[in-house]
Structure 1
């Protein structure tokens, strides 16, 4: 396995500080590590130049900052020209990274959801009508603005079109150039406790830990209903965030690509690298 991480912007031959522990753990385990220029990829720079320090490999895994699906695709293509095969190809990354890619497979274990293509008001209104009345949570294809809960995430009643659009407009404003795909409208479900982040390699849950937003809060979810659904997606490396609904059922809050999911402090860099090697 080859581990690819972002370079430190000030010391471009070294790993970015946020991923330095994982790079060190990989080297200790005998895994080669290469760095890329993430800022160039994210900013529309030359992808071939951005990956120029990466050697050929038949099994490469990226652990780094989030990239839009198009940016990841450009990186994968540039790496391919260097005879580097990413374990997670561009199509698999989009499936995991954008909610419309994974929703159908996990529909039975996640809140009812509709979405738009783009940010037009009329499309948003139609999406709200399809979901019906009641409370909802808004996001785009890749991320919410949950830290601005009442102004840019939570809609108390979808039948109040003007109020819903104010929340959607604020979400769009906050996401700015990072707004991805369109508006996603999710049925609000009352959850208890905190989220748990699970890590899956080759369809098998390898690690369970706290969600990065709630460090230290760890419990073991019941994955009976979730496991066959995640395995059926056939994705190489993903995270699944879960929370307990007030009726006692575990619900999927989010599925994401494991390469760009933040690692909580409770999971060591050595443990994560070992899980990737085992997969």
Structure 2
């Protein structure tokens, strides 16, 4: 198994500082580590040059192109419409559009019904701009909904993916917890990268969600959860593990060992 990470832009033979700890943990566990020029790949440049340092045989996992995870699997994990149906019972009721047309958004808000909601695109919300570009106090206010949508589009710019997603608002009483899953098994539980010092509750209950995650058949994902006001753990987000941040307060050894071990048949 090979761990592939983005290269440091200033020192292209070394891993990007963001992934240094994971690279060191992988090497310590006896695995090969290679770097790629992520910027060159993103710009559609010389792929062969960008991957020049990658050698060896066997499956590879890219922290940040995908070999162990197919393109279809990546999209199913990375975009909400890909995973929503499988986890619908454990997450907020959601509807979405294809594209950013106002009429389609208006249809979606009517479909979801009255009340508060959270707006995002297929991959991400602008939760750090909560009142301007994420939270909708009342879906019945079409003007306010579109105002939030426009601000979200302005902030996302070229990173806007797929279409608008409207999610029924739920009130939570805990910080988010990030869980890591390899071949359908939870291998690590820790804080969310946005709140790295808020340790998860020891009473987190993964039993209801575990068969849902396993049923997706995805090799490497993260699932973010939070405790709802009624005491039920709810799924906030499912993401592809390759592009999910590991909190700075979590040692990478456990995740690396589980990820780079032999894939389960």
Task: Please indicate the TM-score interval, normalised by the length of the shorter structure.
Answer: over 0.9
* Match of residue 135, structure 1, among 116, 122, 125: 116
Structure 2 matches for 1:116-155, cutoff 5 A?
Answer: 116-155=97-136
Match of residue 208 from structure 1:
189
Question: What's the counterpart of residue 107 of structure 1?
Answer: 88
Contact 2:81 2:122 in 1 (8 A): yes
**Structure 1 position 265, deviation (Å):** 2.5
Unaligned runs of 5+ in 1: 65-74, 77-85
CA distance, structure 1, for counterparts of residue 57 and residue 80 of structure 2: 30
1:70 counterpart residue number: none
Helix, strand or coil at the partner of 1:166: helix
Deviation of 1:26 (Å): 0.8
Residue 2 (structure 2) pairs with residue 2 (structure 1): yes
Please list the CA deviations of residues 159-218 of structure 1 after superposition, one character each: whole Å capped at 9, or x if unmatched.
100000000000011000101111011000011111110000110001000111112212
TM-score (norm 2): 0.95
* Cα contact 2:3–2:260 (8 A) shared by 1: no
Q: Which residue in 2 is equivalent to 1:13?
A: 13
Task: Quote the Cα distance in structure 1 between the aligned partners of 2:46 and 2:90.
Answer: 41
Tell me which residue corresponds to 1:163: 144
2:116–2:169 CA contact under 8 A, matched in 1: yes
SS at match of 2:211: helix
Shift in Å at residue 113 of structure 1?
Answer: 0.3
Contact 2:2 2:260 in 1 (8 A): no
Question: Which residue of the other structure, out of 155, 163, 166, is the alignment partner of 1:174?
Answer: 155
| 22-31 or 198-207, larger mean C-alpha shift | 22-31
Partner of 1:80: none
Match of 1:96, SS?
A: helix
Flag structure 2 segments of 5+ consecutive residues without an equivalent.
Answer: none
**Secondary structure of residue in 2 paired with 1:58:** coil
**Large movers: runs of 4+ above 6 Å:** none
Q: What pairs with 1:1-279 in structure 2 (closer than 5 Å)? A: 1-64=1-64, 75-76=65-66, 86-218=67-199, 219-220=201-202, 221-278=204-261
* In 2, Cα distance between equivalents of 1:57 and 1:185: 44
CA distance in 2, matches of 1:97, 1:56: 28
Write the distance in 2 (CA, Å) between the matches of 1:56 and 1:185. 45
State the number of aligned residues: 260
Higher relative contact order (CA 8 A, sep 6+): 2
Structure 1 length as normaliser, TM-score? 0.90
Secondary structure in 1 matching 2:76: helix
Between 212-221 and 89-98, the greater mean CA deviation after superposition: 212-221
Shift of 1:56: 4.3
How many angstroms does 1:58 deviate by? 2.5
Q: Distance in 2 between matches of 1:153 and 1:52?
A: 41
Q: Distance in 2 between matches of 1:124 and 1:5?
A: 38
